[in-house]
Structure 1
């Protein structure tokens, strides 16, 4: 793995969905998340982090330093225990060892698990490995325009057992939630001082960017519809703490609707970037 990054970064990421549910709300019958006051669609930060984790797991496998800590069905305490077994440090149940031993346990977790090194983790359960504040932080994603959360009835023709077959209709009705179309924007931040503590380096940054641009390609399902990563603006500051406020950079990027009616494709939008107003000491990489 490479040395920790020495520059601050800011991210502005655009993705869209067509006839799918980008992030269902279990408290609302799995309807697409929405801001009730503005009608804008919402995708949570943890939703995108999950997709990044899934992509890294598939693309990197068990490569050294790129295992995934938070996985479905995995017992986290078993993974925490690996740090003690490998380092030979005595496990004091529920308490993190002091000084160098405690730092060695936490360092093992950062060095071996990409998502701890990137997003951070609270590892203070029965097998205490400390707490890591992640250098990479995602905001909620908001749709550019209000969305129309919709649902339709669906019918299952097959039956589960003889009892169902003997029923009058033999059919089961269900509901499917979706958004006809929505273009979403997520802003994110990468802190160099926190990267120095977790070990997040340039190679990790490239894995993160690659994951964001490709994560929907390995996450296909009928419920997600057609989800696509469209554009990513990666702003790099010359300094560790940054050369300007993040919001100043985000204001340079905008998505403008260029159709009169309801947007139904990415071509109904234009992503504009005022590159001439880029502050001194900041460069940008644009991926699409």
Structure 2
């Protein structure tokens, strides 16, 4: 087992936390096991394009259900944590997997900080201490001349799957100007061999409507290894609720978090299997017609009576 990292002081409230529902409560206790279920609504949006399919929304080829990968969700959380911390940077909240930054360079920082005699375990502890996503999600840091090893993250998120089958659409669009200047020049002064062009065609992929359901898990024993604090969990739930609010883009249309339900156990290893807890939350259509809004599903049916001893349900959304 790697040595426990030196923990910076991350106990004070973050300046951008504004919601008391994510700054108090047992769902912030890193010594407990947490299992959570969430609902994501997509309207005229491509929530997660598949690069192997030309950017089309990801689907299960057998059931036709839409998919959102865990990687897509964690990317949004990383981006949101970076935004929350940018206003008043604090030690311990850097992001390891960041656009435009080589991973090996981050490993080298760890060795430089720990000195000439630093071991891989020292570097790994430094990475956990300084990078929020390493501490929460884990990382494989075995590349480069100065590898920092592997960290198994305590916070894991699975694929999200739409409640019903989706019907992806490909929408044709035009742009009023071409990309290349020579096309503009040729259009304004056409010749027999080159006519040029004044517009260009493109496509957008959307899902008219879908409601996705996903799950996640937090392991307290693994959190002890990486040094997760109450504040780390608070910023995770805050970022989870904000991740679509600051990730707007033409391709993604409208995405909204419609439900976030956390089952907290009173010990580190859990009091009940997570699947039995998730089965207590049922989302179903109210009628046979194709769903086109959240109201077509109604309020999720949540059975919170007679929960297993030691399990508490916290509803952050829904």
Q: Could you tell me the TM-score, scaled by structure 1's length?
A: 0.93
Aligned to 2:192: none
Aligned pairs (5 A) from 1:43-192: 43-61=68-86, 62-90=89-117, 97=119, 102-126=120-144, 127-165=146-184, 166=187, 167=195, 169-192=197-220
Q: Which residue of 2 aligns with 1:275?
A: 304
Aligned residues: 279
Match of 1:207 in 2: 235
- Does 1:225 pair with 2:253? yes
Which structure shows the bigger proportion of residues in strand conformation?
A: 1
Separation in 1, partners of 2:63, 2:116:
53
- 1:235 corresponds in structure 2 to 263
* Residue matched to 2:17: none
CA-atom RMSD in angstroms: 1.6
- Tell me, which stretches of 5 or more residues in structure 2 are unaligned? 1-9, 12-27, 188-194
C-alpha spacing 1:81/1:269, structure 2 compared with 1 (3 Å): same
Task: Give the TM-score of the pair, scaled to structure 2.
Answer: 0.84
Q: d(CA) in 1 for partners of 2:33 and 2:200?
A: 53
Tell me the equivalent position of 1:39.
64
SS for the counterpart of 1:217 is coil
Could you tell me which runs of 5 or more consecutive residues in structure 1 were left unpaired when the two chains were aligned.
Answer: 92-96
Aligned to 1:94: none
Conserved 8 A contact 2:123-2:148: yes
Per-residue deviation, 1:90: 3.3
Q: For residue 256 of structure 1, give the secondary structure of its aligned residue in structure 2.
A: coil
Q: CA deviation at 1:287?
A: 1.3
Contact 2:178 2:197 in 1 (8 A): no
C-alpha separation in 1, matches of 2:259 and 2:29: 26
User: Is the contact made by 2:29 and 2:233 (CA closer than 8 Å) also made in structure 1?
Assistant: no
8 A Cα contact 1:253 1:274, kept in partner: yes
Contact conserved, 2:158 with 2:215, CA < 8 A, in 1?
Answer: yes
Divergent runs of 4+, >3 A: none
Q: Secondary structure at the match of 2:167?
A: coil
Task: Output aligned runs, 1:242-253, within 5 Å.
Answer: 242-253=270-281
> Which deviates more from structure 2 when the two are superposed, residues 41-50 or residues 165-174?
165-174
